[in-house]
Amino acid sequence: MSRPISIRDLEATLAIKDAGSWMHDLATQLYPICRSITGNGVRETLRRVDARVALSTIEVPSGTEVLDWTVPREWNVRDAYIKNANGEKLVDFQRSNLHLVSYSTPFKGRLSFEELRPHLFTIPDWPDWIPYRTSYYAENWGFCLSHNDLKRFAEDETYEVAVDTSLCDGSLTYGEVTVPGGTSDEVLVSCHLCHPSLCNDNLSGIALATLLAAYLKHRQTRLSYRFLFIPGTIGSVTWLHKNRDRLANIKYGLVITGVGDAGKLTYKRSRRGKTEIDRAVEHVLHHRATPSQVVDFSPYGYDERQYCSPGFNLPVGRISRTPHGEYPQYHTSADNLDFISAEALRGSLEAVLQVTEVLEKDCRYLNQAPFGEPQLGRRGLYGAVGGNATQPANQMALLWVLNLSDGEHSLLDIAERSGLSFPVVRDAAQALQEKGLLAEVSLGRGAGP
Amino acid sequence: MSRPISIRDLEATLAIKDAGSWMHDLATQLYPICRSITGNGVRETLRRVDARVALSTIEVPSGTEVLDWTVPREWNVRDAYIKNANGEKLVDFQRSNLHLVSYSTPFKGRLSFEELRPHLFTIPDWPDWIPYRTSYYAENWGFCLSHNDLKRFAEDETYEVAVDTSLCDGSLTYGEVTVPGGTSDEVLVSCHLCHPSLCNDNLSGIALATLLAAYLKHRQTRLSYRFLFIPGTIGSVTWLHKNRDRLANIKYGLVITGVGDAGKLTYKRSRRGKTEIDRAVEHVLHHRATPSQVVDFSPYGYDERQYCSPGFNLPVGRISRTPHGEYPQYHTSADNLDFISAEALRGSLEAVLQVTEVLEKDCRYLNQAPFGEPQLGRRGLYGAVGGNATQPANQMALLWVLNLSDGEHSLLDIAERSGLSFPVVRDAAQALQEKGLLAEVSLGRGAGP
Amino acid sequence: MSRPISIRDLEATLAIKDAGSWMHDLATQLYPICRSITGNGVRETLRRVDARVALSTIEVPSGTEVLDWTVPREWNVRDAYIKNANGEKLVDFQRSNLHLVSYSTPFKGRLSFEELRPHLFTIPDWPDWIPYRTSYYAENWGFCLSHNDLKRFAEDETYEVAVDTSLCDGSLTYGEVTVPGGTSDEVLVSCHLCHPSLCNDNLSGIALATLLAAYLKHRQTRLSYRFLFIPGTIGSVTWLHKNRDRLANIKYGLVITGVGDAGKLTYKRSRRGKTEIDRAVEHVLHHRATPSQVVDFSPYGYDERQYCSPGFNLPVGRISRTPHGEYPQYHTSADNLDFISAEALRGSLEAVLQVTEVLEKDCRYLNQAPFGEPQLGRRGLYGAVGGNATQPANQMALLWVLNLSDGEHSLLDIAERSGLSFPVVRDAAQALQEKGLLAEVSLGRGAGP
C-alpha cells in the first residue's frame, strides 16, 4: 500500500519548506493582475499557473452558445480615471484595478457631479474600502471608490471621465489540468479566476488547486483528477457545455474558494447531500482539531450552482472558510494579501489532502473469517496479557473493521459508525489484509446513493 | 393566475369590515341555543348557518344503524329545575342550558338531599363555574351547578325535581355544504355543533367554517370543498357510514374547533402524519409571526378520531388553539362569549386561508433549462449590477425553484427545503413560468405518501 | 391468557422470599471457586447450577478446531506462591485465587527480584486491590498482588517461586439448559463463568440466569429458552461452532453480565440495532422508575462480540449495570461480595422478566370494527358520564390499540407510539379481544427487520 497522501508528504515530494507560504507567495504574484470573466488578465494568470502544473489553456470564441448562455465579448482595460477641474485624478485604475466596475463599456466625456453620481459606488459603512462591482450582462460603466474619497467630489464641479476599455469579439479563456489515475473515476476540482485584486475570493482557491495539482502529478493515484481554473458562472457553464459526454466519470467534486481567511473551515454539501464526497469531507472536518461547520446545499454561491443544477446534479460540494458574504471584507479592497495567511491556506490544503486520502483509500472488504472473531492473538495483532479495562484505538479499529466488513460497509462507513478516524481504520484494514483476514470487494465503490 | 386566497381578499369579496367580528357576532347569536347531539337546538343552529351559506340539512332517523353505532333517540328539553321547600328554584334550566346534564331522561319527584346528591355535578376547584356533563348512552338524569350554589342545599331538606325532557324516536340532524372546484379532489372541513352554551368548544369552529364556506362559494377553486356541521362522534360516524363511496375523493381534511381562545395555534397531525395537509399546516404555522405548535396524532379528541380510524385512515388533521382539556374553562360555563375574541378568531381564519392557498396552488414544475442556471439577467429577472454580498428572498426563490423543479419536488417541498414561505416560492414559480422557464407537471399531485 | 411473567410471580412460584437474596446467596457459594476458561473450577460451578436447574454439561476435547480457534489445553492449579529468603509466603494462591495469572504455566525456581519483577502485576492507583490478569494464549506465568504488598519485596533479595499448575490435554466444559416453549422460536440467554473470585463480573450473571431458568421451567411459555453457562469468547465460539444448524431459531438473545453493582441498568444494542429484543429492552428500561441507559453496539465487550460477528449477526444484546471497564473495581479483588447487592440483583432480574413478558406477549391484532370507533360504552369499556377533560391511561390504551391494530402494528409498536407501558397496552388488548373487537394476526411475529 502506498504512503498516505498528506501535507507532510506533499512538502517532502515537492521539496517545499512550507506549503502555506508557497500558496501565499503565489497569491502575491497573482494579486496585481486585473482579471475579469474574459481578457488578458485571465491569460496572464493561467500562464503563472501553467509554469507550475503544465495546464491546457482553452479559448472559446465570443458568441459561442453554451447551455442557456452566450460567451460574451472579451473585455480589456487600458486605463480609466476621473479627473477634477484641476486635472487631478480623483479615481485612478492604475492605483487599484477595483476602481473600475468590471466590464465597463468605453466612455470619454465631461460630466457634472449629478450626471456622474449614478456611476459611482462606495461602502458608507466601511469608508476606507473600495467595493468590487461588475456589470457583465448590462452595458454600463462605473467606478468604485472609498466613501472617504467620494467626499473629495464637489456637487457643482465638472469631471473628466475616461474609461479606456475594449469590449470586442475575442474569446473566453480557461485552464484545465488532468492527472490520470488507475481508474477513469474522476475527482473534479474547480476554482474561479475572474476576480481582480481580491485574495480570499479567487486567489486562495487558485493557489490551493495549483499546489494540489502539482503534488498529485507526482503521486500514483487510484482516481483521476481534473482541475479547472475558470471564470465564475460563464466558465463552468462553458466547461459543462463542452464536456457533457465526460460528466458520467465525475464521481466526486469540490469547488475550492475562500480558503485563506482566519475563519473556520466550512463545507457546503452537494445538492444530493449524502454522496461519498459529502461524507468524506464531513468526516475529515469532524476529526480535525479545529472547529468547522457543514451547511446544506443552497442554489446561491459559486460554481457549485452550475455543477448542481438539476440537469447535471453532480456530486460536487464546496470547501471554504468563512462563507462568502459573511465577512465584511468580501468583495472589497480589504480582501487583500493581509486578509489571507499562509497558516490558514496550509490548514485548508491539509483538510483537502485528508479528503483526497479518504477518496483514494475508501473501499469495501469482506471478512474472510466472519463466523465469530478470528483469533487475533496468534496472528500477533493483539496484546498478550489480558484483563485490562480499556482497548487502545488501533485495537478497537481491528475489531470494528472485522465486525463491519460484510461487504455492505466501506471503510468510511466503519469510520463513521465507530467514531474512529479514517486513517486509524485504514491502517487496521491494511494490517488485517496482510494477515489474510480481509479481501477487497471488487465492486461497490461509487459516489453514493 | 388568480389572486391569492387571503383574509384581505375574503373581507373584500364578502364586503365584511372585520372577519373576526363577523365570526364573534355569529357565535353571539348561536350562544343561547340549547344544542345536543340531536334535537331542535341543532336544527335552529343549522337554520342560522343556512342563512349564510345555503346548506343541506340531513335528518337520519333514530334507530338507524351507522357503522358500529345506532342513531339514538332524539332529545328535547322543555324545562328543568330543582326547587327547595320554599318553592325557590335553586337550579333553573331557563337561566343556563348547562344546568341540565345533556340527554337527561324525564323525571318528576320529591327527593331528600341524600337521594338527590348523586345527580348533582360541580367543580370544587372553580366554585363559580357550572360544569358541562352528558349522559348520551347511559339513561340517567342530572344537574350541573356551581359549587357555590351547592352550598344553598341543606342536608335535611326535601327537593322538588323536574326534568321535563323528551327522549323519543325522531332523528339526528346535520348540515353539509359543498363548494365544487375544478377537480373532484376534496378538502373536508368538519366542525361539531352538539354543545349547548359553550363558545370556544363548538361555536368558534362553526363560525370559522361558515365564513370560510361563504367565501369559497365566491371563488373559483381548483379543489372541491365539503363542509360538515355535525354532532360530535355520532355525527361523523353517521356521515362516514352514509358516504363511504365518496371518501376516496378526500385528499385533505381539517377538523376545526376551539379556535377562538387566546392560546397559540395548535395543529394535531393526521394518523398518517406526513400527508400534504399535515405538511401544509405545519409550513403555514411555522411561517406565521406568532407562536404555534404541532402535536402528533392520538386517538382521543374530536371527530378526527373517526376520520382517522384505521379502516378509513383519512388525511384529516385538526386545527385548534389551546387543546381541549388543557384550559380550565373547557366544558364549563366559563367557556363563554368573553373567552373567545374576534382577534383570535380572525388569526385562526387567516391561518386556515393560508393553508387553503397552499392546497390550491401547490404543484410540481419541470425546469425547462435544467442544465446549468438559465441566464436570468437577460430575462429581466435579476439585478443588473453584480457583486453584492446577499440576495433578497425573491431572488433566492427563483434559484431554489429552478434548482428543485426536477419533477420530484412540489412548491411546498421547495418551500420546506429553502426555508422560504410558500407565497414567495409560488410567486417565483409564476414569474419563471411566465418566462417559459417552467412547465407544470400534470401528474404528481396528491395527498402524500 | 396466562398470568404475567413477573418477579412476584417468580417468588410465589418458586416459594422464594426474596429473589435478590437468593441470587446473592448463590454468588456467595460460587465465590471461592477458582474458575478459568477450562478446568475443575468450571465443573464445580456447573455442579452447583445443575443442582438448581438440571443442566447438561458438555465437554469438548482440547485441540478441537472451533471456528477460527482451537480449544486450548485444560488448566488446573494445585498451589502457587512466592516465598522470601525467610520462607515467608509473600504471595499465596491459597489466600486468593486472583494472585495467580490465569493460565500460568508451571514453574519452580529461585529468582532475583529483577528476574521476578516482570512477572508481578499490581494497580498503583488502588494499592489495596489485587488485579486480575490472564495469559490464555501466550505461555507465561505471573502473580497479581496489591501494590502495598509489592513494597514487602526487596531489590537485593532472592525469591522462591512455585507455580504448581498443570496445562494438559483435557477438555473445555460448559453448561446448557433448554426450556421448551409452544414454538421453536428461541430466546438465547448467555452468561460467562470463566472468572475466579469476581462477583459482578461473572457471578451476578450466573446467579440471574440460574434463577430465570429455574422459574421458566415452571411456566408454560410461548417461546423456547436456551441458557448457556460458558467460558468467555472460547465458550461462545465453541457453542456457535457446534450449533450452527440451530441458530436460525434464535429470534432474540441477551448476554447477562455485571448485573449486581449499584449502577444504572445499561442495555447494549445488538449489531442490528433495532430488532425486537432491542426494542423490548429499550421499552422496558424507559418505563422503569429508575434511571437507565441504552448504548449502541460496539465490537468490544462480552460474548455478544461472537453472537454479533458478521457471519452470525444474531439479534443478541447485552444487559448490565455499569459497563465493564467503567468502574474501578472491574477486574480487581474489589469486585467482591460487598460490591454486589441483593437489591441490585433483584432489580436486574425484574427488568429481564419484564423483557421476557414483552417477548412472550407481543403480537399483532386486527381491529374487527375498524371503520370509526366501536361504541365502547355499550360494551362496558367506557365511563358512563361524559365531558371530563382527561382520560385515564387504561381508557387511552383501548383507543390506541383499536386505532393501530391494522395488522401493521404490534403491541410493542403501539406501546412505543402511545408512550404507554407494555402491560397497560397488553391489558387493553386482552379486554378488547374478550369483547370480540380484536383478532390476533397469525403471522407477523419475528425478530424485526
Residue C446 confidence (pLDDT) above 50: no
DSSP codes of every residue in C65-100: EETTEEPPPEEEEEEEEEE-TTS-EEEETTT-GGGB
Residue contact A309–B399, C-beta within 8 A: no
Neighbours of chain A (3+ CB pairs under 8 A): B, C
Q: Which of B67, B137, B330 sits opposite C372 (nearest CB)?
A: B67
Q: Which 3-state string (H, E, C) describes chain A?
A: CCCCCCHHHHHHHHCCCCHHHHHHHHHHHHCCCCCCCCCHHHHHHHHHHHHHHCCEEEEEECCCEECCEECCCEEEEEEEEEECCCCCEEEECCCCHHHECECCCCEEEEEEHHHHHHHEECCCCCCCCCECCECCCCCCCCEECCHHHHCCCCCCCEEEEEEEEEEECCEEEEEEEEECCCCCCEEEEEEECCCCCCHHHHHHHHHHHHHHHHHHCCCCCCCEEEEEEECCCHHHHHHHHHCHHHHHHEEEEEEECCCCCCCCEEEECCCCCCCHHHHHHHHHHHHCCCCEEEECCCCCCCCHHHHCCCCCCCCEEEEECCCCCCCCCCCECCCCCCCCCHHHHHHHHHHHHHHHHHHHHCCEEEECCCCCCCCCHHHCCCCCCECCCCCCHHHHHHHHHHHHCEEEEEHHHHHHHHCCCHHHHHHHHHHHHHCCCEEECCCCCCCCC
**Residues of B contacting chain A (CB within 8 angstroms):** 367, 369-375, 377-378, 384-391, 396, 399-400, 402-406, 418
Q: How far is A13 from chain B (nearest CA, A)?
A: 38
CB-CB contact of A143 with A84 (8 Å): no
User: What average pLDDT does the segment C291-296 reach?
Assistant: 98
User: Residue C405 is inside which H or E element, if any?
Assistant: none
Q: Which residues on chain C are in Cβ contact (under 8 Å) with B236?
A: 372
Pair A128, A90 in one domain: yes
Q: Do the domain assignments include residue B445? A: no
Residues of chain B with Cβ-Cβ distance to A130 below 8 Å are none
pLDDT at A216 exceeding the cut of 50 = yes
Most confident of A391-405, B71-85, B435-449, C370-384: B71-85
B386: which 3 cell numbers?
Answer: 453584480
Looking up residue C134, the CATH number of its domain turns out to be: 3.50.30.90
B231, three cell numbers: 354532532
Residue A447 in domain: no
Alpha helices in B334-386, H assignment, sequence order: 342-361
Cell of C108: 519452580
Q: Are C145 and C122 in contact (CB under 8 A)?
A: yes
Contacts of A415 in chain C (CB under 8 A): none
Mean predicted confidence (pLDDT) in B294-308: 97
- Strands (DSSP E) found in C322-387: 364-367
Among B35, B36, B66, B68, pick the best mutation site for testing chain C contact (most C Cβ within 10 A): B68
B400/A311 Cβ within 8 A? no
Provide CB contacts within 8 A for C327, sequence distance 6+: C261, C263
Nearest by CB to A68, which of B375, B389, B418?
B375
C181 and C288 in one domain? yes
Contact A299 B387 (CB under 8 A): no
Residue B383: pLDDT over 80: no
What's the gap in Å between the CA of C150 and the closest CA on chain A? Answer: 19
Closest CB from B134, B313, B330 relative to C386:
B134
> Which of C67, C132, C299 faces A400 most closely, judged by CB atoms?
C299
Residue B107, sorted as left (phi over 0), alpha (psi -120 to 50) or beta, turns out to be: beta
The band of A3, judged by pLDDT with boundaries at 50, 70 and 90, is confident
Stretch (H or E) spanning B379: none
User: How confident is the model at residue B444, as a pLDDT?
Assistant: 46
Residues A218, A346: one domain?
yes
Chains that touch C (3 or more CB pairs under 8 A): A, B
Contact yes or no for C302/C237 (Cβ under 8 A): no
CA-based nearest residue in chain B for residue C396: B300
Q: What is the pLDDT of residue C385?
A: 58
User: What is the CA angle A431-A433-A439, rounded to 5?
Assistant: 160
* pLDDT score, position B381: 87
Distance of CA B271 to the CA centre of its chain: 17
Answer yes or no: do A138 and B374 touch at CB < 8 A: no
Claim to verify: residue A205 and residue A332 sit in the same structural domain? yes
pLDDT tens digit sequence for A60-109 = 999 999 999 999 999 999 999 999 999 999 999 999 999 999 999 999 99
Partner-chain contact A389 C325, CB within 8 Å: yes
Residue C446 resides in a domain: no
Closest CA to B206 of B238, B172, B229: B229
Q: How far apart are CA A367 and CA A440, in angstroms?
A: 9
Q: Where does a domain end: B128, B148, B168?
A: B168
Residue from B385, B391, B387 nearest A335 by CA: B387
Q: Do A323 and A271 share a domain, yes or no?
A: yes
With beta carbons under 8 A apart, name residues in chain C contacting B312: 371-372
Write out pLDDT tens, residues A298-356.
999 999 999 999 999 999 999 999 999 999 999 999 999 999 999 999 999 999 999 99
Residue that the C-alpha cell 481534473 belongs to? A226
Residues in chain B closer than 8 A to C372 (CB atoms): 67-69, 236-237, 240-241, 306, 309, 311-312
Nearest to A288 by CA among A270, A268, A264, A320: A264
pLDDT of residue B446: 46
> By CA distance, what is B307's nearest residue in C?
C372
Query: Looking at beta carbons, which residues of chain C come within 8 Å of A370?
Result: 309-311
Q: Which three cell numbers stand for residue B20?
A: 373576526
Check the CA dihedral C249-C251-C252-C255 and report its sign: positive
Residues in C closer than 8 angstroms to B134, CB to CB, are 385-387
Residue B278 is given by DSSP the state H
Share above pLDDT 70 across residues of chain B, in percent, rounded to a whole number: 96
Residue A392 pLDDT grade (very low, low, confident, very high; cuts 50, 70, 90): confident
**pLDDT computed for residue B3 by the predictor:** 86
Average pLDDT of span C394-400: 93
Instruction: Find the angle CA(A308)-CA(A314)-CA(A318) to the nearest 5 degrees.
Output: 65
Within B297-445, strands assigned E span 316-320, 364-367, 406-410, 438-440
Residues of A with CB under 8 A from a CB of C: 367, 369-375, 377-378, 384-391, 396, 399-400, 402-406, 418
Write the residue in A132, A305, A310 that is nearest to B370 by C-beta.
A310
Question: Do A147 and A58 fall within a single domain?
Answer: no
Q: Kindly state whether residue B422 falls inside one of the protein's structural domains.
A: yes
Whether residues B135 and C386 touch (CB distance < 8 A) is answered with yes
Same domain, B141 and B185: no
- Residue B390: pLDDT band by 50, 70, 90 thresholds? low
Which helix (H) or strand (E) covers residue B403, if one does? helix B393-404
Residue of C nearest to B235 (CA): C372
Calculate mean pLDDT across residues B141-154: 97
CB atoms < 10 A from the CB of A356, how many? 26
Q: Measured between alpha carbons, how far is residue A419 from residues A267, A313, A400, A412, A422 in Å?
A: 20, 30, 10, 10, 9
Determine whether the interchain pair B308/C403 forms a contact, defined as Cβ–Cβ distance below 8 Å: yes
Among the ranges given (B344-353, C195-204, C286-295, C390-399), the one the predictor scored with the smallest mean pLDDT: C390-399
The pairing of beta strand B74-83 with beta strand B107-112: unpaired
Q: Quick check: is C447 in a domain?
A: no
Same domain, B155 and B202: no
Per-residue pLDDT tens digits for B400-439: 999 999 999 999 999 999 999 999 999 999 999 999 999 9
Q: What is the CATH number of the domain that holds B295?
A: 3.40.630.10
Place of cell 444448524: C245
A-chain residue closest to B419, CA distance: A298
Q: Which of B138, B309, B331 sits opposite C389 (nearest CB)?
A: B331
| Cα angle A82, A87, A90; round to 5 | 35
Q: Which of C374, C386, C389 sits opposite B330 (nearest CB)?
A: C389
Cβ atoms of C204 and C257 closer than 8 Å: yes
Residue A273 domain-assigned (yes or no): yes
Which single residue is written with the C-alpha cell 517532502?
A12
Q: Do residues C184 and C259 share a domain?
A: yes
Cα(C159)–Cα(B176) distance, integer angstroms = 102
- Per the CB < 8 A criterion, the answer to whether C33 and C228 are in contact is no
Closest CB to A325: pick one of B385, B390, B404. Answer: B390
Share the mean pLDDT of chain A. Answer: 95
Q: What is the pLDDT confidence band of residue C444, given thresholds at 50, 70 and 90? A: very low
Residue C401 in this model has a pLDDT that exceeds 70: yes
The domain of A81 spans 75-168
* pLDDT surpasses 80 at A431: yes
Q: Tell me the average pLDDT of chain C.
A: 95
Given A386, A396, A403, which is nearest C310 (Cβ)?
A403
User: Which residues of A are less than 8 Å from B387 in CB distance?
Assistant: 131-134, 331
State how far the Cα of A254 lies from the Cα of A282, in Å rounded to an integer: 13
User: Is there a single domain that holds both residue A188 and residue A212?
Assistant: yes
Q: In this structure, is residue B390 part of a structural domain? A: yes
Q: Give which of A436, A424, A425 is closest to A363, Cα–Cα.
A: A425
Of A256, A352, A270, nearest to A309 (Cα)? A270
Q: Where are the beta strands (DSSP E) in C300-446?
A: 316-320, 364-367, 406-410, 438-440
Is C371 close to B305, i.e. CB distance below 8 A?
Answer: no
By the 8 A CB rule, do C281 and C448 touch?
no
For B301, other C-beta atoms within 10 Å of its C-beta total 20
> Are A236 and B404 inside 8 Å of each other by CB?
no
Looking at residue A181, what is its pLDDT?
A: 97
pLDDT digits (tens, 9 = 90+) for B239-296: 999 999 999 999 999 999 999 999 999 999 999 999 999 999 999 999 999 999 999 9
Q: Given an 8 Å threshold on Cβ–Cβ distance, is B389 in contact with A325?
A: yes
Residue with cell 419533477: B407
Residue B307 to chain C, least CA–CA distance (Å)? 7
**Contact: B387, A67; criterion CB under 8 Å:** no
Task: Quote the number of domains for chain C.
Answer: 3
Of the candidates A67, A68, A300, which has its C-beta nearest B391's C-beta? A300
In a mutational test of the A interface, the residue from C65, C68, C104, C316 whose CB has the highest number of chain A CBs within 10 Å is: C68
**Residue A367 confidence (pLDDT) above 90:** yes
Q: Where are the alpha helices (H) located in C250-341, listed in sequence order?
A: 276-287, 304-307
Same domain, A114 and A233: no
- The answer to whether the Cβ–Cβ distance between C371 and B136 falls below 8 Å is no
The answer as to whether A2 is a domain residue is no
Residue to substitute from C240, C298, C302, interface A, most A β-carbons within 10 A: C298
CA of C404 vs chain B CAs: smallest distance (Å): 7
Same domain, A265 and A343: yes
CA distance A387 to chain C (A): 5
Q: Which pLDDT score, from 0 to 100, does residue A217 have?
A: 97
* Chain A residues closer than 8 Å to C201 by CB: none
Contact criterion met (CB < 8 Å) for C330 and A389: yes
B–C interface: beta-carbon pairs under 8 A: 91
d(CA C88, CA B87): 108
Amino acid, res. A399: L
Give how far Cα B205 sits from Cα of A19, A382, B201, B255, Å.
Answer: 70, 71, 8, 9
Asked if C375's CB is within 8 angstroms of B137's CB, the reply is yes
Query: Can you give the CATH number for the domain in which B372 is found?
Result: 1.10.10.10
Provide the pLDDT for residue B180: 97
For residue A286, what are the contacts with CB-CB under 8 A and spacing of at least 6? A292
Say what the pLDDT of residue B447 is.
42
Residue from B305, B298, B207 nearest B253 by CA: B305
The mean-pLDDT minimum among A80-94, A365-379, C378-392 falls in: C378-392
- CB of C448 closer than 8 Å to CB of C279: yes
Cell numbers for B407: 419533477
Point out the domain boundary residue: A340, A361, A382: A361
Computed over every residue of chain B, the mean pLDDT equals 95
What confidence score (pLDDT) does residue B394 get?
A: 86
Domain closes at, from A361, A386, A413: A361
Q: What DSSP designation does C249 have?
A: G
